[in-house]
C-alpha cells in the first residue's frame, strides 16, 4: 500500500489527473508477491508476481488490455529507466518503489507522504524480509538471479549470517 500511496503522490505532483488508480493499486499490491512461497516458480520473482497478478485479474474477468499494463509494471519494477517509459502504471509503481527505498534526497522530497504512508502501513523490517526472500529463492534456483538484475546484486553482496540491509539493496 505504501508503494501505491507514494506512486499516487508522485503522479499528483506531476500533474497527472487521468491515472487508472485501481490498476496502479493492484500493480503495487502484487509487485512483490513473487517472493511468496505460493508464487515461487522458476522465473524471477518479478515475473512470477506479474503472472500471479494476471491470473488473479483474469479470474475476475479483467480484459487483457487492462491486465497488460499491470503485468508490465510488476515485471519491470526493479529495472532502472524502462518502466518510466512504459506507461503510467509502470512509471508510478517504479517511482513509488524508488521513493520508498531510494536515495536520501528523493526520500526527503517526499518526507511528508512517506511519513503518512508509514504511519498507516508500518515498514516492519521490510528491507530485511524482502532481501531474505529474494536471496533464498535465488540460492535455491540460480536462474532467478541472472545478471543483470536486482536479485543478482543481492546474491553478489550476500554474506550468510550478516545482519542488516544488504549493500545490494
Q: Looking at the structure, do residues 85 and 161 belong to the same domain, yes or no?
A: no
Q: What is the largest CA-CA distance in the chain?
A: 47
Q: Looking at the structure, do residues 131 and 113 belong to the same domain, yes or no?
A: no
C-alpha cell at 49: 508476481
Q: Helix (H, G, I), strand (E, B), or coil: what is residue 49? A: helix
Q: Looking at the structure, do residues 55 and 86 belong to the same domain, yes or no?
A: yes
Q: Looking at the structure, do residues 11 and 48 belong to the same domain, yes or no?
A: yes
The rounded distance, in Å, linking the Cα atoms of 76 and 82 is: 7
Q: Looking at the structure, do residues 25 and 49 belong to the same domain, yes or no?
A: yes
Query: Is the model's pTM score more than 0.85?
Result: yes
Nearest partner of 71 among 17, 34, 19, judged by Cα: 34
Helix (H) or strand (E) holding 3: helix 2-13
Q: Looking at the structure, do residues 80 and 135 belong to the same domain, yes or no?
A: no
Q: Looking at the structure, do residues 114 and 32 belong to the same domain, yes or no?
A: yes
pLDDT confidence band for 167 (50 / 70 / 90): confident
Q: Looking at the structure, do residues 155 and 94 belong to the same domain, yes or no?
A: no
Across 29-58, average pLDDT: 97
Residue with cell 550476500: 158
Range(s) of the domain holding residue 81? 2-123
pLDDT digits (tens, 9 = 90+) for 100-142: 998 899 999 999 999 999 999 998 889 899 999 999 999 999 9
Q: Looking at the structure, do residues 102 and 91 belong to the same domain, yes or no?
A: yes
The rounded distance, in Å, linking the Cα atoms of 22 and 92 is: 13
Instruction: Report pLDDT for 161.
Output: 81
Number of domains in the chain: 2
Amino acid at each position: 500500500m505504501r508503494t501505491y500511496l507514494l506512486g499516487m503522490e508522485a503522479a499528483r505532483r506531476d500533474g497527472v489527473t487521468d491515472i487508472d488508480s485501481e490498476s496502479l493499486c493492484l500493480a503495487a499490491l502484487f509487485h512483490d508477491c513473487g517472493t511468496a512461497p505460493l508464487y515461487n516458480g522458476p522465473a524471477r520473482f518479478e515475473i512470477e508476481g506479474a503472472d500471479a497478478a494476471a491470473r488473479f485479474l483474469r479470474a475476475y474477468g479483467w480484459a487483457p488490455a487492462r491486465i497488460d499494463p499491470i503485468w508490465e509494471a510488476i515485471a519491470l519494477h526493479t529495472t532502472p529507466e524502462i518502466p518510466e517509459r512504459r506507461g503510467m502504471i509502470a512509471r508510478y509503481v517504479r517511482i513509488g518503489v524508488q521513493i520508498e527505498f531510494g536515495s536520501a534526497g528523493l526520500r526527503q522530497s517526499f518526507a511528508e507522504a512517506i511519513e503518512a504512508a508509514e504511519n498507516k502501513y508500518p515498514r516492519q523490517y521490510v528491507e530485511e524480509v524482502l532481501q531474505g526472500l529474494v536471496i533464498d529463492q535465488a540460492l535455491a534456483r540460480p536462474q532467478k538471479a541472472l545478471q543483470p538484475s536486482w536479485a543478482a546484486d543481492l546474491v553478489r553482496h550476500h554474506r550468510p549470517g550478516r545482519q542488516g540491509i544488504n549493500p545490494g539493496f
